Structure 1
Amino acid sequence: MTSKLTALERAVAEAIAREYPDATDALLRQLQNAVVTSRDFTGVGFFTEFDVPRDGPPAKDLVGPVGHICALVGSERYPLEFMLYVRGGYAEMIEAYSFEDGYGDLDLLTAEFTPPVESDFQTVEAEPQATSEK
């Protein structure tokens, strides 16, 4: 499998990148050309692994899972939280998870979603975003 990040994956990864001013530019540059290598759906979230170009600078001082972003997904507004995994300064995986019951038949990768924000579900009340790829 090789594909681009979905609108949801890109939105949450970019929101997390913006939480780290010293690493934002490097991460955003990496994410522009990310190529998905695998997706694993867990029933309460998913893992998306991807490769990024290594010809640019690594993200400064960033290692392991970073960020703590949330969004509400689909018409039922299923709550998901997200982390971005970084190794050696290069983004490599997005983890999405929920503390709720499973998401049923909701397609997490194509459903509408609220803009990603820091993890505090009281503040996630914006209108859902469209999922069209740009």
Structure 2
Amino acid sequence: MTTTQDFMQALQQAESTGDPSALVALHAPDVTLRNLTEKTWEGQEGAQEFWATYLGNFAQIRSEFTRSQEEAGLGVMEWTASGELSDGQPISYRGVSLIEVAGGQVKAFRTYYDSAAFVQPVTTES
């Protein structure tokens, strides 16, 4: 099993239980994590914060991986996530995540996704 496969399995476990500890354990002590925001999370504390924040956005969420590959220290995962936001609104969005792998650990995590799925339409009252 590759680190990418371990990562996908641990993410799905975190999504089903709400506990990111097994996922965080895959991250190296000096890991960096980024998403579409300007912030970078660093280290295992940063990984814990990143994944707890991710899970906190949803009442429920499930990532389904449509394609993955790991080669030469790079893991690539295409996915679709579906579920319910913490306010009860349904959500479904797609993206790609990249992990840099060394020694069986995640050294860097980057994710790119359809952020428009999180934008609520403006409603006007008549």
What band does the TM-score fall into relative to the shorter chain? 0.3 to 0.5
**Which structure has more strand as a fraction of its residues?**
2
Greater relative contact order (Cα < 8 A, sep 6+): 1
**Which structure has more helix as a fraction of its residues?**
2
Q: Which has the larger radius of gyration?
A: 2
Q: So what's the TM-score if we normalise by structure 2?
A: 0.36
Q: So what's the TM-score if we normalise by structure 1?
A: 0.35
